[in-house]
Amino acid sequence: MSIYKFNVKTIDQKEISLSEYQGKVLLIVNTASECGLASQLEGLQELHQNYQDKGFSVLGFPSNQFMNQEPLEGQEIAAFCATQYGVEFPLFDKIMVNGETAHPLYHYLVNETKGKKIKWNYTKFLIGRDGEIIERFGSLTTPEKIEDSIVEALSTSV
């Protein structure tokens, strides 16, 4: 089992398979533009930019599940992230990350990390080149603190 079996919608509503990212190291993050942690978008973009040529990508999944901190939709989200934080990494359709209505990808991510529900925005999942979860990081773990784990994952072949 890996993340490659899941389909997701891009921010502009195109359905894609996560198998398009096969062989890459990924950092999957639930984002929200009005969250006090939104400044992490800058650090996430920096990681994406610094390591994309080595086979790394950040994948952002906006969610309005925590205190309605993502009121924007689709291209509004993309424009905000690009304008305010220089985000160029892929953003996907706004989803739920907890509960019965959670996106199947997030059901999988939560179940594979001891079933602990997502507590807040900017929870991060580091995915290896094989599509399996390497590590889960809480909301307060800044992108800079994950860099060593990303470098290590990038040095591992499939």
Per the listing, tokens 């800044």 go with 142
Which is nearest to 90 in space by CA: 40, 45, 128?
45
Q: Are 132 and 141 in contact (CB under 8 A)?
A: no
Q: CA-to-CA distance for 103 and 141, rounded, in angstroms?
A: 23
Catalytic residue among 3, 29, 32, 35: 35
Q: CA-to-CA distance for 54 and 151, rounded, in angstroms?
A: 9
In the residue annotation, 81 being an active-site residue is answered as no
Residues that are catalytic: 35
